[in-house]
Amino acid sequence: MDRRRFLSTTVAGILAAPLVAETQPSTTIPRIGLLADATSWHSFRLGLQDLGYVEGKSIALEERSSQGRNERFSELASELVRLNVNIIVTWGTPATLAVKQATKTIPIVMAHVGDPLRSGLVANLAHPGGNVTGVTALGPGLVAKRLEFLKEAVPNVSRVAFLWNPANPDQKSSFNEVQAGARALGVTLHSVEARSREELEQALAAMKQSPPSALLMTADAVHQRYMSRIVAFTSETRLPAMYQLKEAVDRGGLMSYGASLPDLARRAAYFVDKILKGAKPGDLPVEQPTKFELVINLKTAKALGLTIPPSLLLRADQVIE
């Protein structure tokens, strides 16, 4: 090879080298899709941190929200599937059902659902099979207990408004159970349906015109999005209310009873870690909460002119004074 040919070959090789390097596959990090109505994933992120993951370095999160429009879940679920994320973490039954319909292969981790058996998300809690696992808040199973606590706090309650969302599959179970509980307690139950912000405002206006004795509600994602509005309404109308989530009592609600949602979200990170390390979602048992918190706001009780029985205060996990 003469000197001119040698130099041209060498220069060509040097110039081509960066182009070859650019086409080499880079090390990728797992991508996790997050799908909910509108919720904070802060606790889930903390759970990942506890397990050693660093967002943007060892794991990436693709967050999607329906912004209170459940009809968008199908579109958003399909979008996450097209992104070919490694796992999709869901919040709420409508979001989880949408993802399950969109994919049979991508693992799905439920961070919060009411009853995955009744909604058909899994066939068995101990052996879920398929591509769905995670944690459940046992929403429907506790609604009658909430009514019982409410009756104990407000003994003369006679007509209770039950705020629920018929578009949420979990809510039908809740409605059926609270009906049975109301009959056992001798309480008249008034069904108040709200699928959107507009329907919620209409429901609140109707309750203002014909006030119930008390209000009972669930943790439906659409309603939680407007929790500040609901708590303000109960304050303005001096309406005793029992909520599922402690966060409502922190904002001024009277009482709550249910599982800790931040704890459930952090636990969902455990499932993500297990699946990334090779576990199959169908082999991971769905977990149920073992601790339920009764929270009472004495400031609100005083404003409503209520005296909470000492026996109920003794059973409370937290009393806000």
Supply the pLDDT for residue 135. 95
What residue ranges in the chain does DSSP mark as E strands? 31-36, 60-65, 87-91, 108-112, 132-134, 159-164, 188-193, 214-217, 241-243, 255-258, 293-297, 318-320
Instruction: Name the residue with higher pLDDT: 150 or 224.
Output: 150
Q: Give first-to-last CA distance, the chain, whole Å.
A: 91
Label residues 78-97 b or e (16+ Cβ within 10 Å = b): ebbbeeebbbbbbbbbbbbb
Supply the pLDDT for residue 219. 85
Q: Does residue 219 sit in helix, strand or coil?
A: coil
Supply the pLDDT for residue 68. 77
Angle at 49 between CA 48 and CA 53, to 5 degrees: 75
Could you tell me the two tokens for 8?
A: 């041209």
Yes or no: say if 85 and 56 are a contact pair by the CB < 8 Å rule: no
Among the listed residues 261, 223, 225, 217, the one whose alpha carbon sits nearest the alpha carbon of residue 242? 217
Q: Does residue 77 sit in helix, strand or coil?
A: helix
Yes or no: say if 175 and 167 are a contact pair by the CB < 8 Å rule: no
Residues 6+ apart with CB under 8 A from 155: none
* Residue pLDDT, tens place only, 165-182: 998 888 888 898 999 999
Per-residue pLDDT for 262 more than 60?
A: yes
> CA 196 to CA 109: how far, in whole Å?
26
Per-residue pLDDT for 16 more than 50?
A: no
% residues pLDDT > 90 (the chain)? 74
Instruction: Name the residue with higher pLDDT: 239 or 118.
Output: 239
Per-residue pLDDT for 139 more than 70?
A: no
Angle at 273 between CA 268 and CA 277, to 5 degrees: 150
* Residue pLDDT, tens place only, 293-317: 999 999 999 999 999 999 999 999 9
| pLDDT band, very low/low/confident/very high, at 137 (cuts 50, 70, 90) | confident
Residue 74: Cβ within 10 Å count: 16
